[in-house]
Structures are given as C-alpha cells and as structure tokens.
Structure 1
Amino acid sequence: MRALFVGGLIDNSELDLDGKEPPRHYPPETGSGQSRYRLHAVGRGNGGVACAIYGAPDSDPDEVLRISDERGYPRRFDTELQRVD
C-alpha cells in the first residue's frame, strides 16, 4: 500500500508500507514524544488497502480529505476514500 502525506514537513510525499492495515500514526513508534502524522482515510481495492492518507499533526481532518481529493489520490488508486475516525 502507498502512504500519502498532507501537510507538515513531508507534504505531498509518499512511500510504500508493508502489512495488511496501515498504522494509526506514522511513524508508528518514535519513542521521542514527537508529534506524528495521523491516519485520516484509507482507499480499499484489490482485496486490501491500496492507499493510506496521513495528515500532519494538528491538521483539520476535513482539510486533509479536501487536499487529497484535490491531488487526485482516490482517482489515482481507483478507489473511494473511507474516513478513519
């Protein structure tokens, strides 16, 4: 699955994630108390998760979804995003 990032230092970046389900935060474990990106939505397809949308710390969930739609992430992965609350 592809992890896609909205906002913060790694805005508009992406990387591959292993596993069947994306972690709730990225990076999953820092141990430093540093704010992490939070999972806002997933796009399912081909029997699993095709993409995971992460927003920067303190980002508005609606804004993260708006930006990801504007960037065409759902279309790119041929999926509809499902919000994660």
Structure 2
Amino acid sequence: MIRALFVGGVVDNSEMDLEGPQPPKNYPENTGGGASRYSLRQLGVDGERVVYAVYGAPEVDDAFVERVADERDYARRFEATPQTVH
C-alpha cells in the first residue's frame, strides 16, 4: 500500500491509499475528458519499497511541491527518504 499525498488544487492536503508496488505517473490515471491531472512529483522510499507518493496540481511548480512536502514533513512521518520524480 502506498499513501498518496496531494499538494495544491482542490484536494490540497488530502490523502488516500493506492494499490500496487508503484504509484501511477498521474492521478487520476484516466480522466476521459482531458481534464488536468495531478502529476507525481516526489516518492518516499524505505529501502526498495515506495511508501508515499506526492502529487502536485498542474498549476504548481516542482519547487513549491517540494517546499510544501518538506513543511508537512512527509519524510519523517513515513520514515522514508524523499526522491524527486522528473
């Protein structure tokens, strides 16, 4: 189980669980209507395992997402090492 965390947009500071060993690149994966989607910006890794995924709204840049993730202290909370996703 991977914890998805959201920065910016209408679901800012929301969380949910994702199935699978790897999170999708965008959330939701398939919008069907071409709507803007949150994009994967950071992973929290504990050894080989991904424990959290930070998604950023389309209107926020990577630096903002990284700053907010740091302020919310996701790495400490999940005891994981943050990795930026490009």
So what's the TM-score if we normalise by structure 1?
Answer: 0.95
Structure-2 separation of matches of 1:36 and 1:55: 9
Which consecutive residues of structure 2, in runs of 5 or more, have no partner in the other structure?
Answer: none
The aligned residue for residue 37 of structure 2 is: 36
The aligned residue for residue 50 of structure 2 is: 49
Structure-2 separation of matches of 1:42 and 1:12: 16
Count of residue pairs the alignment pairs up: 85
Deviation, structure 1 residue 80:
1.6
Which consecutive residues of structure 1, in runs of 5 or more, have no partner in the other structure?
Answer: none
Structure-1 separation of matches of 2:48 and 2:38: 25
Q: What is the root-mean-square deviation of aligned Cα atoms in Å?
A: 0.9
Structure-1 separation of matches of 2:45 and 2:81: 7
